[in-house]
Structure 1
Amino acid sequence: MKLLVGISRVLVGVLFIFSGFIKLNDPLGFSYKLQEYFSPEVLGLEFLVPYSLVIAIILVVFELVVGIMILIGYLPKFTVWSLLLMIVFFTFLTFYSAYFNKVTDCGCFGDAIPLTPWQSFIKDVILLIFILILFFNRKLITPVLNPISHRWIIFLSFMLSFWFCYHVLMHLPVLDFRAYKIGNNIPELMEVPEDAQKAVYEYEWTFLHN
């Protein structure tokens, strides 16, 4: 069980750090994705749209730092509870998007690795299993470094994350995966390939009788 906890700890930590960093690399893009989720057609939380950028920054920074916390074994009880609540929420969101076909791209890994809602849901279910292993065996999560250094590591993680976020907001993503990044020919990328599936048009007529 200790080996299984160790494997789960590494997989969950690395994936949360990677996912958080990819979204932190383009927080504005992630805020647009949140606006899509907040829209009346999806969750009906349009009052949160003006705060989508702030929510996006807080969410991705916390996601990244929690990934670091589980790797170094800092505050195991708080960390596994945070991981569990986050993954339950994400799993619900991806299932809702997939089942009702509301959001076609969840934005879990930004523009770096586009995933369909069903792919995202399967990914979250697998993550949920690993996090449940950690949750029920949190006593086996031991520190890998001197506990005194943990607070400094987490503090520096927060500071560096916010600095990095400020940097990309004031400039451009360091790793630009966007379709309209510098160097791309936008009109050329907008051209429809010759072998693309043709559009299907359907007309409906309504007759009014006086």
Structure 2
Amino acid sequence: MEPFKQLNGLVAPVDRVNVDTDAIIPKQFLKRIERSGFGQFLFFEWRFDQKGNVIPEFSLNQERFQGASVLISRANFGCGSSREHAPWAILDYGFKVVIAPSYADIFYNNCFKNGILPLKLSEEQVEDLFQRTAKYEGYKLNVDLEAKTLTDDYGLHIAFDLDEHRRQFLLQGLDDIGLTLKHADAISAYEAKHEARLAYK
């Protein structure tokens, strides 16, 4: 994964509570065996009608939100099944940061493992972001993971908290495999010692 330190990104809203993983990536698109290519199906049943026509009212179909890399939504984001395809679709679409008041635990953990920063803010702070996104065309947030702050061009300054272990995962661009490989020398030394002990017997 690429290290995540700072992002100045366009914000797109999905103003719904309890956004479940089947809405994020519907089950009919789970047949792919690689992690890429899921972005085109993100929120598919909200973006397109049954005939495949674009639903213009949905935020991600609107011109002003094209190219967004910060997604804001409401409470209990990522609920439902534990499919890891959900963060794959979010990342493949172009979102690097998700902001909501709360998340389903499995989805929340999967975000960190796939290089996405899921931020938890209060209901009031999230509502303020929705209001700012609606008010300012091309509204952007500067997300500074090193300083643990959110700022914009209109006076916003939010200090956020994040588990330090997870923060370091993103800052260093590590997933579980990458973390293991940081200890490759120690693992090799242990294996050599173990093989020598077996040979001695």
TM range (shorter): under 0.3
* Greater per-residue helix proportion: 1
Q: TM-score, normalised by structure 2?
A: 0.25
* Greater per-residue strand proportion: 2
Answer with 1 or 2: which has the greater Rg: 1
